[in-house]
């Protein structure tokens, strides 16, 4: 699993671009946790990029490093012409109004004692935009746009809401300042299936209406398939594969992507796990494997994978893979 | 403020008079291993009694696997914990019966249950991080169950533990026995929990969301492991999950729960192929899969799951169901059984014409009897 490749970055027009992003956490005894080790990606206006990986792959750390909740050890984050990694706190605050986040646990994201309408209106209040009446009107409109009736729900306290309703409130709040980019960190992982579908559809609708760009983080390739234009697969702090959603699911080309896809339980079908990676677990990010980071679980691994880190290469239109032994694409897939 | 220990409540006593025998009961043959009949479980809470499980009936023959699916709050965990008799405090009341191998468990003494736990019935919980004791070595935790139930010397127990770890595909078992839980990953810990559960070769294994806390690549391995031991040892298993896909390929029978009730049951393939209860059908359609085209709109179930403590007069799913007619709001649907061993609680099962007529009428009106808006596009989308 390489990461140093930049082949997948588009030349211009990206609203958000991360380059050589590295996040390490020092441990006692001089060791370091290599959470994110040189990740590059960009997001175009109106595009949803999904970031997929197992726990410990560095997806959430990447999200936090983008909004500078976690200061990157190295690298740059360009957003609308600013490099966020060098901005001072005042300027960063300004930028963050256009770069919003929705978190995994909807209930913990809201103050249980506050009334919903106040929660949604608060971003405007903080930024002193408009009169109180205008703020509340905007909050009501935002509530309607996420499918909550402001008349009945506006006066309720967050503690009275269900998980799905809380996530709608979080989304409404994130949209109040008209952000360019919304980062959703596992927004449906804590929700029931029936409610999860509602939120996924809502995010899709809002994205289309508001021309939002989204970074959508999830461990679940099935969920990601429904919402994303482009998918980026991460493993142990590095990128394995980046491709348009259509291409990735059509012809997954990194052995890790194949493993992930094969492991998803399917309705009524016998489990189709590819049978490797068995008994082996994700290695510690304190001491990641040399060369390709996936080699300890990979059925194709050779000496080359130990010695040399693979670099992202284009194998088909808008399909990039970092693997020395990348799966051969079927010819018909390349012609599409 | 209501008293915590309110003993008799009308909620528990309220049962539809049409109550029939538990669904899916095979006629004749040898006595099933587990028979749950009209089981109800009620918790006393400061806000009043909460009937978390009602009218639950199921039959599990030896060596068979039952999947229990439902959303959070549907009562699936309460069901398995009630069977296991783990809910034992002053605030909990059970009604009905749980017969395991001919013995009634609901009235069994604690001493008797201690004999049964681990030896005859074992359980695997959702979170392997909190199931194991953090301060004891793995070896001690595995041999504890063995020494409780079997006359083994320390060396024999140790030897048994080693072989158990091998059987759950743990590398370097001898070293692992000396380790503490925190030195292992989640998947490894869940394997240990499974090793402990199968240590005494139980007849029944209850697995409550055994892979929900694990990564998808590890999930497949752990489920494979459970299936392997289940078939090899002829154990019966109840596999509880919120994920239909997880249980679909690994169970013989399926029970779908909603708001504290089993609303549909039957052979897994039959239920998934042609669900009779609109909730099951809607749940199937709203599950994201990798087989649908990217960007496909998911079918959604409008509204939120009904909390089990909420009292309603009719069907508990009626407020979210696009087939709902007046009768669904006024009369609780009784448990109906089909010759094919299927059971359902619905006035308008999807294999009948009444359901299609009700849907057409609701579409014509633009809303259901419960006031839920239904439009043609919803139906087309969800079809």
CB contact under 8 A, B224 and A273: yes
> Is the pLDDT reported for residue A275 higher than 60?
no
At residue B21, the pLDDT reads 40
pLDDT tens-place string over residues B192-221: 999 999 999 999 999 999 988 788 888 888
CB B266 within 8 A of CB B341: yes
CB A110 within 8 A of CB A166: yes
Radius of gyration of chain A, Cα coordinates, nearest whole angstrom? 21
Residues from chain B contacting residue A274 (CB–CB below 8 Å): none
Residue A84 half-sphere exposure toward CB, CA atoms < 13 A = 28
Residues from chain B contacting residue A221 (CB–CB below 8 Å): 216, 290
Q: In terms of Cα–Cα distance, which of A17, A59, A21, A61 is closest to A37?
A: A21
**Distance in angstroms (rounded) separating the CA atoms of residues B264 and B282:** 13
At residue A83, the pLDDT reads 93
At residue A279, the pLDDT reads 52
**Distance in angstroms (rounded) separating the CA atoms of residues A190 and A227:** 17
Sort B326 into a burial class: Cβ within 10 Å, 0-12 / 13-18 / 19+: middle
Supply the DSSP symbol for A188. Answer: T
Rounded mean pLDDT of B260-287?
Answer: 93
Q: Which of residues 41-80 of A touch B (CB under 8 A)?
A: 54-55
> Is the pLDDT reported for residue A273 higher than 70?
no
**Distance in angstroms (rounded) separating the CA atoms of residues A33 and B119:** 43
CB B75 within 8 A of CB B58: no
Rounded mean pLDDT of A286-314?
Answer: 90
Chain B contact present for A198, CB below 8 A: yes
Residues from chain A contacting residue B218 (CB–CB below 8 Å): 281
Q: Which of residues 202-231 of A touch B (CB under 8 A)?
A: 204, 219-223, 225-228
> Closest to B245 (Cβ–Cβ): which among A194, A261, A267?
A267
Give residue limits of the domains in chain B. Answer: 130-200, 278-288+304-381
CB B128 within 8 A of CB B186: yes
How close, in Å, is residue A96 to chain B by CA atoms? 28
Which of B300, B319, B322 has the most A C-beta neighbours within 10 Å, making it the best mutation to test the interface with A? B300
Radius of gyration of chain B, Cα coordinates, nearest whole angstrom? 22
Task: Kindly provide the residue ranges of all beta strands, DSSP E only, lying in A44-166, ordered along the sequence.
Answer: 48-52, 74-79, 82-83, 99-102
- Class of domain A1-98+195-266+275-326 (CATH, top level): alpha beta
How close, in Å, is residue A74 to chain B by CA atoms? 29
Strands across the sheet containing A16-26: A32-43, A16-26, A74-79, A82-83
How close, in Å, is residue A283 to chain B by CA atoms? 10
- Whether ipTM > 0.85 holds is no
CB contact under 8 A, A196 and B224: no
Angle at B30 between CA B25 and CA B36, to 5 degrees: 40
Sort A53 into a burial class: Cβ within 10 Å, 0-12 / 13-18 / 19+: buried
> Closest to B294 (Cβ–Cβ): which among A196, A249, A263?
A249
Rounded mean pLDDT of B301-308?
Answer: 86
At residue B321, the pLDDT reads 93
pLDDT tens-place string over residues A48-57: 999 999 888 8
At residue B216, the pLDDT reads 83
pLDDT tens-place string over residues B11-65: 333 333 333 344 444 444 467 999 999 999 999 988 888 999 999 999 999 999 9
CB contact under 8 A, B286 and A162: no
3 state SS for chain B: CCCCCCCCCHHHHCCCCCCCCCCCCCCCCCCCCEEEEEEEEEEEECCEEEEEEEEEEEEECCCCEEEEEECCCCCHHHHHHHHCCCCCCCCEEEEEEEEECCEECCCCCHHHHHHHECCCEEEECCCHHHHCCCCCCHHHHHHHHHHHHCCCCHHHHHHHHHHHHHHCCCCCHHHHHCCCHHHCCHHHHHHHHHHHHHCCCCCEEEEECCCCCCCHHHHHHHHHHHHHHHHHHCCEEEEEECCHHHHHCCCCEEEEEECCEEEEEEEHHHHHHCCCCHHHHHHHHHCCCCCCCCCCCCCCCCCCCCCCCCCCCCCCCHHHCCCCCHHHHHCCCCCEECCCCCEECCCCCCCCHHHHHHHHHHHHHCECCCCCECCHHHHHHHC
Residues from chain A contacting residue B283 (CB–CB below 8 Å): 193-194
Give residue limits of the domains in chain A. Answer: 1-98+195-266+275-326, 107-178
> Is the pLDDT reported for residue A41 higher than 90?
yes
Rounded mean pLDDT of A119-146?
Answer: 94
Chain B contact present for A149, CB below 8 A: no
Chain centroid offset of residue B68 CA:
3
Chain centroid offset of residue B194 CA:
18
> Closest to A279 (Cβ–Cβ): which among B169, B272, B273?
B169
At residue B334, what are phi and psi to the nearest 5 degrees?
-75, 165
How close, in Å, is residue B222 to chain A by CA atoms? 10
Number of A–B residue contacts, CB under 8 Å? 139
At residue B383, the pLDDT reads 36
* Residues present in chain B in total: 383
Residues from chain B contacting residue A228 (CB–CB below 8 Å): 294
At residue A5, the pLDDT reads 72
**Distance in angstroms (rounded) separating the CA atoms of residues A75 and A306:** 25
CB contact under 8 A, A264 and B245: yes
**Distance in angstroms (rounded) separating the CA atoms of residues B189 and B231:** 22
Residues from chain B contacting residue A246 (CB–CB below 8 Å): 294
Rounded mean pLDDT of A220-241?
Answer: 91
Tokens of B241: 């999950």
At residue A327, the pLDDT reads 55
At residue B145, what are phi and psi to the nearest 5 degrees?
-65, -40
**Distance in angstroms (rounded) separating the CA atoms of residues A86 and A129:** 27
Cβ neighbours for A152, distance < 8 A, ≥ 6 positions apart: none
Selection from A297-301, B60-64, B287-291 with the highest mean pLDDT: B60-64
Residues from chain B contacting residue A220 (CB–CB below 8 Å): 216, 288
Residues from chain A contacting residue B300 (CB–CB below 8 Å): 194, 197-198, 201
> Closest to B220 (Cβ–Cβ): which among A198, A201, A263?
A263
Q: CA nearest A166 in B: which residue?
A: B304
Q: CA nearest A230 in B: which residue?
A: B294
At residue B212, the pLDDT reads 83
Q: CA nearest B223 in A: which residue?
A: A271
Which of B74, B126, B298 has the most A C-beta neighbours within 10 Å, making it the best mutation to test the interface with A? B298
Supply the DSSP symbol for A166. Answer: H
What DSSP string runs through A219-247?
A: S-HHHHHHH-SEEEEEETTEEEEEEEHHH
> Closest to B220 (Cβ–Cβ): which among A246, A267, A271?
A271
């Amino acid at each position: 699993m390489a990461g140093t490749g930049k082949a997948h970055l588009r030349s211009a027009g990206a609203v958000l671009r991360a380059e050589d992003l590295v996040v390490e956490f020092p441990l006692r005894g001089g060791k370091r946790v290599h959470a994110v080790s040189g990740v590059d990606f960009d997001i175009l206006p109106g595009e949803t990029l999904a970031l997929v990986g197992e726990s410990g792959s560095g997806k959430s750390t990447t999200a936090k490093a983008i909004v500078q909740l976690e200061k990157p050890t190295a690298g740059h984050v360009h957003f609308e012409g600013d490099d966020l990694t060098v901005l001072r706190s005042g300027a960063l605050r300004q930028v963050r109004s256009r770069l919003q986040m929705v978190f995994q646990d909807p209930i913990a994201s809201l103050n249980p004692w506050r009334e919903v309408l106040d929660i949604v209106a608060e971003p405007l209040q903080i930024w002193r935009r408009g009169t109180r009446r205008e703020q509340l009107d905007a909050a009501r409109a935002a509530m309607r746009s996420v499918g909550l009736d402001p008349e009945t729900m506006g006066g309720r306290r967050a503690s009275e809401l269900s998980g799905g309703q809380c996530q709608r409130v979080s989304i409404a709040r994130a949209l109040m300042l008209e952000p360019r980019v919304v980062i959703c960190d596992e927004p449906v992982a804590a929700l029931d299936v029936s409610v999860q579908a509602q939120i996924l559809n809502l995010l899709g609708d809002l994205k289309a209406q508001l021309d939002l760009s989204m970074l959508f983080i999830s461990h679940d390739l099935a969920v990601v398939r429904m919402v994303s234009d482009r998918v980026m697969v991460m493993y142990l702090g590095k990128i394995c594969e980046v491709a348009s959603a259509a291409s990735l699911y059509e012809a997954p080309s990194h052995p890790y992507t194949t493993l992930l896809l094969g492991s998803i339980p399917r309705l009524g079908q016998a489990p189709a796990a590819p049978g490797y990676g068995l008994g082996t677990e994700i290695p510690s990010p304190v001491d990641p494997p040399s060369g390709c980071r996936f080699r300890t679980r990979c059925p194709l691994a050779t000496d080359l994978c130990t010695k040399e880190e693979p670099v992202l290469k284009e194998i088909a239109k808008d399909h990039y893979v970092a693997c020395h032994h990348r799966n051969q694409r079927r010819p018909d897939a390349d012609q599409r | 403020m209501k008293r915590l220990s309110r003993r008799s409540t009308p909620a528990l006593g309220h049962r539809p008079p049409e109550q029939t025998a538990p669904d899916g009961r095979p006629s004749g043959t040898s006595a099933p291993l587990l028979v749950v009949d009209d089981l109800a479980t009620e918790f006393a809470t400061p806000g009043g009694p909460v009937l978390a499980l009602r009218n639950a009936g199921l039959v599990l023959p030896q060596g068979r696997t039952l999947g229990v699916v439902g959303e959070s709050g549907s009562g699936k965990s309460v069901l398995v914990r009630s069977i296991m008799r783990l809910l034992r405090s002053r605030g909990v009341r059970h009604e009905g019966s749980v017969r395991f191998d001919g013995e009634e468990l609901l009235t069994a003494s604690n001493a008797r249950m201690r004999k049964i736990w681990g030896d005859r019935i074992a359980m695997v919980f959702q979170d392997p991080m909190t199931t194991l004791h953090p301060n004891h070595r793995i070896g001690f935790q595995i041999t504890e169950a063995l020494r409780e139930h079997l006359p083994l010397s320390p060396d024999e127990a140790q030897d048994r533990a080693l072989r158990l770890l091998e059987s759950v595909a743990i590398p370097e078992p001898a070293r692992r026995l000396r380790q503490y839980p925190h030195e292992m990953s989640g998947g490894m810990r869940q394997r240990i929990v499974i090793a402990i559960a199968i240590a005494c070769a139980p007849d029944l294994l209850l697995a409550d969301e055994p892979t929900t806390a694990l990564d998808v690549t590890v999930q497949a391995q752990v489920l494979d492991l459970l299936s392997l031991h289940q078939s090899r040892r002829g154990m019966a298993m109840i596999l509880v999950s919120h994920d239909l896909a997880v249980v679909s390929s690994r169970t013989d029978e399926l029970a779908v729960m909603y708001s504290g009730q089993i609303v549909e049951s039957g052979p897994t393939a039959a239920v998934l192929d042609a669900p009779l209860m609109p909730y099951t059908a809607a749940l199937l359609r709203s599950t994201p899969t990798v087989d649908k085209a990217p960007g496909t709109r998911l079918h959604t179930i409008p509204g939120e799951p009904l909390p089990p403590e909420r009292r309603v007069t009719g069907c508990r799913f009626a407020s979210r169901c696009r087939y709902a007619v007046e009768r669904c709001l006024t009369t609780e649907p009784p448990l109906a059984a089909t010759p094919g061993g299927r059971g359902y609680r619905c006035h308008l099962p999807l294999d009948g014409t009444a359901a299609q007529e009700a849907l057409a009428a609701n579409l014509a009106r633009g809303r259901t009897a419960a006031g839920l808006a239904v439009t043609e596009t919803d139906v087309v989308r969800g079809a």
